[in-house]
Chains A and B, each alone.
Chain A
Amino acid sequence: MHLQRADNHTWRKAKSGLASTAAFVSALLVIAPLGLVFFHLVANGASSVNWDFFTKLPTPVGVVGGGMVNAIAGSLELLALAAAIGIPVGVLGGVYLAEYGSARVNSMLRFIADVLNGVPSITWGVVVYGLVVLRFKGFSAYAGGLALGLIMIPLIIRTTEEVILLVPNGYREAALALGVSRWKTIVHVVMKTASKGIITGILLALARVGGETAPLLFTAFGNRFWNHNLSEPIAALPLQIFTYAISPYDDWHRQAWAGALVLVTGIFCVNVVVRILTRGRTASVV
């Protein structure tokens, strides 16, 4: 056994140090893109994030200025539509997996949810295109919201299930021992106890789909103007960033950087809120 030879101890020590250094460098390389992206976002985008950006519509090609107010509003509308689909289905589905059902069926459903979480987001766009856009003959905010909502479902199911399983059984027993029905126990005691965790899962899912572009390309489609009707195409921040980024115009590139900075700031804010919500999660109950 080479482990027990003492004569090459120094060499082994050195090798260990070398490996540790290599691992450290790897870790630096992994997080380097984060720093670089953030740096360039601020460097290229900060100067274009101004009052106009948040209040003006995009300008036609060649006209300098303008903003992305319609895309910001559009993203929020799409998220609201997605939430209306993803939250109830995801949360209640997660409750089922945690509280009811046989172990066999549940592990099956869990497995399917995990596989769904790995389905490329663009395929959801294609499916919703076939399901809604072709059928109702047009791109629409509804179609975009549906695509995002469907992506949210398996995400929220899994996080909800996980936090509900963390609720100590003592609380269920305490409520049931008062003669409270099972479903009221689940809704008013178990879900209430796990509410922070459930909200965390919802926020993370919203942050995730809020940055999605691919499923919106041929559902929400994008719109240079205000959307006045949810059955019409609607702008979204990621879509607008994409359109501007691949355009040949410098002014649009600046707008794309500004939009990206705003989007990333929004997503990071949600992540910070989540961190605050989950801080002391181990200390308190859930």
Chain B
Amino acid sequence: MEIATPPAVATVEPHSARRAMAPPSRFGDKAFEWLTLAMAMAVVVLVILLGWELWRGSSLAIKKFGFHFLTTSTWDPVADQFGALPFIYGTVVSSLIALLIAVPLSIATAAYLTELAPLWIRQPLVSLIEMLAAIPSVILGLWGIFVMIPWLRDYPFPLLKRLFGWTPFFTGPIYGTSMLAGGIIIAIMILPIITSVSREILRSVPNLQREAAYALGATRWEVTRIAVLSYAKKGLFGAVILGLGRALGETMAVTMVIGNTPQIAASLFKPGYTLASVIANEFTEATTDMYLQALFEIGLVLLGTTILANLLAQLLLQTMSTTSTTRAVQ
């Protein structure tokens, strides 16, 4: 195929606008892309910074105590002997108590919000849960000290002792500040996040699932249980692990109610201590280098466990659309 004619010279009129415009600069485009890339890489820098600083700050302690740091119970700053086992124990137990309380409540609430509640009540409830998430930890701790602890001491704890005093978990004197109180306050802190992530997960369950169950004549609850909850199992597990990550690192509120005593005791009425709490309480009092090193190492242990929990949670949640969960996560 041929081209007809060479292009005729177009009518040349003064292109004032074209002349007024600045030539495009490739430099600006490149510079902006590199600038934003550098800022996005900040997250990588931050991860390295976290690991490196904590490692560097605890290298002497790691060398001196080795693995014994994680398995021994002596915490004696005067003798420069440090073992983190009571803190690890306290962190694990208080977090488990928190999960035990928070998981059923959160998932039931999420199911209520997506499946069972009348439509008009859903949005206000979601807003209230978001507000609960916005309450700072220190304020919940303040409320814990002056309202929750006295109430627990006077009513639920004695009742628990009367009912379950025959088990090793509810024995001994009741002070109020205790492992159990710590677990309860952590539960309150992680309720909103588990609820909102679970809610996003249940919302992402395809409607086809529900319709299929309804078509079989299932009741509303049966649909929720069979079609929705079991379908979303994996995502809900992710939400729980995410809550666990938050529970492990929760600091202020738990520090204010757990009693801060490094001991390993079966009774949940006895005070305990967590990894985060010991850092919060003793960091500025660390008089010797080894003391500070030991606290840095506790920070490292805390970072390691929370990152592991978060990695696991993110992997479990990644099966879902990422954008819908991020809003809930934050």
Contact = CB atoms under 8 A, between A and B. Distances in A.
Interface residues of B, number: 101
Contacts of B106: 30
A118 B323 contact: no
Interface string B305-327: 01101110110000000110011
A109 interface: yes
B24 interface: yes
A227 interface: no
A244 B142 CA distance: 9
B248 to A, nearest CB: 7
Contacts of B221: 15-20
B112 A204 contact: no
A112 B108 contact: no
Interface string B7-47: 00000000000000100110011011101110111111011
Interface string A85-117: 000111111111101110000010111111111
B276 interface: yes
B330 A158 contact: yes
B53 A211 contact: no
B290 interface: no
A41 interface: yes
Interface in A161-211: 162, 165, 179, 181-184, 186-187, 204, 207-208, 210-211
B216 A3 contact: yes
A165 B326 CA distance: 13
Given A12-B219, A183-B28, A92 B36 contact: yes
B142 A241 contact: yes
A259 B329 CA distance: 28
Interface residues of A, number: 104
Contacts of A26: 104-105, 108-109, 112
Interface in B291-314: 295-296, 299, 302-303, 306-307, 309-311, 313-314
A247 B220 CA distance: 52
Contacts of A95: 36, 39
A88 B216 CA distance: 55
Contacts, number: 301
A246 B141 CA distance: 10
Choose among A33, A95, A112 the residue with the greatest number of B CB atoms under 10 Å from its CB: A33
B46 A154 contact: yes
Contact of A31 (B47, B128, B276, B309): B128
B42 A238 contact: no
A181 B28 contact: yes
A246 B306 CA distance: 27
A13 interface: yes
B54 interface: yes
B134 A37 contact: no
Interface in B77-95: none
Identify whether the interface residues of A are mostly helix, strand, loop, or mixed: helix
Contact of A204 (B146, B147, B330): B330
A213 B252 contact: yes
B219 A114 contact: no
Contacts of B279: 122, 125-126
A127 interface: yes
A127 B53 contact: yes
B131 A34 contact: yes
Choose among A115, A126, A155, A186 the residue with the greatest number of B CB atoms under 10 Å from its CB: A126
Contact of A207 (B129, B134, B213): B134
B242 interface: yes
A268 B132 CA distance: 10
A121 B189 CA distance: 14
B313 A257 contact: no
A203 B277 CA distance: 28
A109 B41 CA distance: 7
Contact of B112 (A24, A36, A107, A257): A24
A112 B43 contact: yes
A157 B306 CA distance: 21
Which 5 A-B pairs have CB atoms at the shortest separation, nearest pair first?
A: A120-B249, A211-B136, A183-B32, A26-B108, A23-B112
6 contacts: A40-B147, A107-B322, A130-B53, A157-B42, A183-B31, A241-B138
